[in-house]
Amino acid sequence: MYELSLLFFQIAIFQKGPQDVPASPLVLRLLLPVYVAINYLILFLNGTQATALLQIGVDFGLIVLFCWPLLYSSGKIARFPQTLAAMVGTSVVLSFFALPAIATLNANANDLAYFAMLALVLWHWLVSGHIMRHALDQSLFFGLGLALLYIMLSSQIMAALFPELTGSTQ
């Protein structure tokens, strides 16, 4: 598991790409419990644990529903397991780094915590673009555009399905 953690960290710092992830379904089976646990912890810190498992399932489904059609339409569906594992694995890495900022925002919000969250959102965008770029054999600009589209779409869908995430009551 250490090797996988290191691999996803290396992807998150742009040293490796999704092509370096083993194409085994075992990788995703190892990642999913960690993905659920860390996202549950984040939702617990945010006070939205009542629907946490549903939110995590929707979030995972959005990753699948974004990656699969892109890879299918570009004729690179064989890269799906690696791309999905890279997206989920780097999400775990970034979520781990977000835990202190989220805890600070919930306990005693300050400018440093807001800045840290902004930096993590930008990092997530860059990492997702990096993964899409390699998975689709496109330019970084194209990958960043797709990553921005994914982040915006998933944010809108999650906010519509779970208004408690945004604090609004619709």
Angle (CA) 36-63-92 rounded to 5° is: 40
Helix axes 80-108, 25-45, angle to 10 degrees: 20
Q: What pTM was estimated for this model as a whole?
A: 0.90
Query: For residue 107, how many C-alpha atoms fall within 13 Å in the half-sphere facing its CB?
Result: 8
Distances in Å between the alpha carbon of 105 and those of 95, 112, 165? 14, 9, 14
How does pLDDT run along the chain (170 residues), one tens digit per residue? 889 999 999 999 999 999 999 998 899 999 999 999 999 999 888 777 778 899 999 999 999 999 999 999 999 999 999 999 999 999 999 999 999 998 888 888 888 889 999 999 999 999 999 999 999 999 999 999 999 999 999 999 999 998 876 654 44
